[in-house]
Amino acid sequence: MADNHTKEQRSYNMSRICSKNNAPEEKVRKFLFSKGFRYRKNDKKLPGCPDIVLPKYKTVIFVNGCFWHKHNCKRFVWPSSNEEYWKKKILRNVERDELNIKGLKEPGWKVLVVWECELKKVAIDKRLETLVDEIRT
Ligand SMILES: [Zn+2]
Protein backbone atom coordinates (compact mmCIF):
# COMPACT_ATOMS: atom_id res chain seq x y z
CA MET A 1 0.00 0.00 0.00
CA ALA A 2 1.38 3.39 -0.99
CA ASP A 3 1.82 5.78 1.84
CA ASN A 4 0.82 9.20 0.61
CA HIS A 5 0.41 10.72 4.01
CA THR A 6 2.78 13.32 5.24
CA LYS A 7 4.39 12.69 8.57
CA GLU A 8 2.11 15.18 10.21
CA GLN A 9 -1.06 13.68 8.78
CA ARG A 10 0.04 10.27 9.83
CA SER A 11 0.56 11.25 13.42
CA TYR A 12 -2.75 13.06 13.39
CA ASN A 13 -4.50 9.93 12.20
CA MET A 14 -2.82 7.87 14.87
CA SER A 15 -3.88 10.18 17.62
CA ARG A 16 -7.45 10.78 16.56
CA ILE A 17 -9.71 10.66 19.55
CA CYS A 18 -12.42 8.65 17.87
CA SER A 19 -10.11 6.20 16.22
CA LYS A 20 -11.09 2.96 14.61
CA ASN A 21 -11.15 -0.12 16.75
CA ASN A 22 -7.72 -1.28 17.66
CA ALA A 23 -6.31 -4.29 19.42
CA PRO A 24 -6.18 -2.99 23.03
CA GLU A 25 -9.77 -1.79 22.88
CA GLU A 26 -10.91 -5.06 21.41
CA LYS A 27 -9.22 -7.02 24.19
CA VAL A 28 -11.17 -5.10 26.81
CA ARG A 29 -14.43 -5.38 24.88
CA LYS A 30 -14.08 -9.11 24.33
CA PHE A 31 -13.44 -9.67 28.00
CA LEU A 32 -16.40 -7.58 29.11
CA PHE A 33 -18.66 -9.28 26.60
CA SER A 34 -17.59 -12.69 27.91
CA LYS A 35 -18.57 -11.53 31.40
CA GLY A 36 -22.03 -10.61 30.19
CA PHE A 37 -21.58 -6.86 29.92
CA ARG A 38 -23.29 -5.15 27.01
CA TYR A 39 -21.91 -1.92 25.67
CA ARG A 40 -21.88 0.63 22.91
CA LYS A 41 -18.68 1.38 21.02
CA ASN A 42 -17.20 4.80 20.24
CA ASP A 43 -20.22 6.84 21.23
CA LYS A 44 -19.81 10.11 19.35
CA LYS A 45 -22.58 11.77 21.31
CA LEU A 46 -20.51 11.72 24.50
CA PRO A 47 -17.47 13.91 25.20
CA GLY A 48 -14.28 12.34 23.93
CA CYS A 49 -16.13 9.59 22.09
CA PRO A 50 -15.55 6.91 24.75
CA ASP A 51 -14.31 3.54 23.49
CA ILE A 52 -16.77 1.60 25.61
CA VAL A 53 -20.07 2.81 27.03
CA LEU A 54 -22.01 0.74 29.56
CA PRO A 55 -25.39 2.48 29.86
CA LYS A 56 -26.68 0.11 32.52
CA TYR A 57 -23.84 1.12 34.85
CA LYS A 58 -23.68 4.71 33.62
CA THR A 59 -20.00 4.03 33.03
CA VAL A 60 -17.66 4.84 30.19
CA ILE A 61 -14.23 3.36 29.56
CA PHE A 62 -11.35 4.89 27.68
CA VAL A 63 -8.57 2.62 26.52
CA ASN A 64 -5.62 4.98 26.27
CA GLY A 65 -2.26 4.65 24.57
CA CYS A 66 0.49 5.56 27.03
CA PHE A 67 2.29 7.79 24.57
CA TRP A 68 -0.62 9.76 23.16
CA HIS A 69 -2.20 10.38 26.53
CA LYS A 70 1.00 10.86 28.52
CA HIS A 71 0.69 8.06 31.01
CA ASN A 72 2.93 8.27 34.03
CA CYS A 73 4.72 5.03 33.17
CA LYS A 74 7.88 3.73 31.51
CA ARG A 75 6.20 3.72 28.12
CA PHE A 76 5.93 7.44 28.01
CA VAL A 77 9.08 9.26 26.95
CA TRP A 78 9.25 12.61 25.24
CA PRO A 79 10.55 12.17 21.69
CA SER A 80 14.09 13.48 21.32
CA SER A 81 13.46 15.26 18.02
CA ASN A 82 10.82 17.86 17.17
CA GLU A 83 10.45 18.49 20.86
CA GLU A 84 8.29 21.58 20.56
CA TYR A 85 5.90 19.90 18.16
CA TRP A 86 5.40 16.88 20.36
CA LYS A 87 5.12 18.85 23.53
CA LYS A 88 2.32 20.94 22.09
CA LYS A 89 0.56 17.95 20.64
CA ILE A 90 0.73 15.69 23.67
CA LEU A 91 -0.16 18.41 26.14
CA ARG A 92 -3.15 19.30 24.00
CA ASN A 93 -4.27 15.68 24.18
CA VAL A 94 -3.92 15.69 27.95
CA GLU A 95 -5.89 18.90 28.24
CA ARG A 96 -8.62 17.55 25.99
CA ASP A 97 -8.78 14.35 28.05
CA GLU A 98 -9.29 16.38 31.22
CA LEU A 99 -12.07 18.42 29.65
CA ASN A 100 -13.79 15.31 28.33
CA ILE A 101 -13.64 13.59 31.69
CA LYS A 102 -15.10 16.66 33.36
CA GLY A 103 -17.84 16.82 30.74
CA LEU A 104 -18.75 13.21 31.45
CA LYS A 105 -18.58 13.36 35.22
CA GLU A 106 -20.78 16.41 35.52
CA PRO A 107 -23.90 14.67 34.19
CA GLY A 108 -23.08 11.64 36.35
CA TRP A 109 -21.03 9.26 34.23
CA LYS A 110 -18.41 7.14 35.92
CA VAL A 111 -15.20 7.42 33.91
CA LEU A 112 -12.70 4.56 33.88
CA VAL A 113 -9.38 4.55 32.08
CA VAL A 114 -7.48 1.47 31.03
CA TRP A 115 -3.92 2.09 29.92
CA GLU A 116 -2.19 0.22 27.14
CA CYS A 117 0.61 -0.84 29.49
CA GLU A 118 -1.94 -2.47 31.79
CA LEU A 119 -2.92 -4.81 28.97
CA LYS A 120 0.47 -6.43 28.63
CA LYS A 121 0.42 -10.18 29.04
CA VAL A 122 1.74 -10.14 32.59
CA ALA A 123 -0.75 -7.55 33.77
CA ILE A 124 -3.90 -7.97 31.74
CA ASP A 125 -5.76 -10.63 33.73
CA LYS A 126 -5.49 -8.74 36.96
CA ARG A 127 -6.37 -5.44 35.34
CA LEU A 128 -9.50 -6.81 33.73
CA GLU A 129 -10.66 -8.33 37.02
CA THR A 130 -10.16 -4.97 38.71
CA LEU A 131 -12.03 -3.29 35.89
CA VAL A 132 -15.10 -5.43 36.56
CA ASP A 133 -14.99 -4.37 40.21
CA GLU A 134 -14.68 -0.74 39.19
CA ILE A 135 -17.69 -1.01 36.89
CA ARG A 136 -19.83 -2.66 39.55
CA THR A 137 -18.99 -0.42 42.49
ZN1 LIG B 1 1.32 3.26 30.66
Which CATH number covers residue 126?
Answer: 3.40.960.10
What end-to-end distance do the CA atoms of the chain give, in Å? 47
Residue 36 falls within a domain, yes or no? yes
d(CA 24, ligand 1 centre) in Å: 12
Amino acid at 128: L
Per-residue model confidence (pLDDT) at position 2: 43
Could you give the CA distance from residue 44 to residue 73 in angstroms, rounded to a whole number? 29
Q: In what order do the strands lie in the sheet with 52-54?
A: 40-41, 52-54, 59-64, 110-115
Strand residues in the chain grouped as ranges (E) = 40-41, 52-54, 59-64, 110-115
The answer to whether the CB of 26 falls within 8 A of the CB of 76 is: no
CA 128 to each of CA 49, 117, 132: distance values in angstroms, whole numbers, following the listed order:
21, 12, 6
The answer to whether residue 136 scores a pLDDT higher than 50 is yes
Instruction: Please name every residue paired with 112 in a beta bridge, in sequence order, or none if there are none.
Output: 61
Residue 7 falls within a domain, yes or no? no
Q: What is the pTM of this model?
A: 0.84
d(CA 69, ligand 1 centre) in Å: 9
d(CA 96, ligand 1 centre) in Å: 18
Residue 21 falls within a domain, yes or no? no
- Per-residue pLDDT tens for 32-86? 999 999 999 999 999 999 999 999 999 999 999 999 999 999 999 999 999 999 9
Ion ligand 1: residues, CB < 5 A: 66, 71, 73, 75, 115, 117
Per-residue model confidence (pLDDT) at position 23: 87
Give the count of domains, the chain.
Answer: 1
Percent of the chain with pLDDT over 70: 85
Per-residue model confidence (pLDDT) at position 18: 61
Residue 43 falls within a domain, yes or no? yes
Per-residue model confidence (pLDDT) at position 15: 45
Residue 19 falls within a domain, yes or no? no
Could you give the CA distance from residue 115 to residue 24 in angstroms, rounded to a whole number? 9
Residue 117 falls within a domain, yes or no? yes
Residue 17 falls within a domain, yes or no? no
Could you give the CA distance from residue 126 to residue 92 in angstroms, rounded to a whole number? 31
Range of the domain at 97: 26-136
- Per-residue pLDDT tens for 106-116? 999 999 999 99
* Average pLDDT, rounded, for the chain: 89
Per-residue model confidence (pLDDT) at position 12: 45
Residue 4 falls within a domain, yes or no? no
d(CA 95, ligand 1 centre) in Å: 17
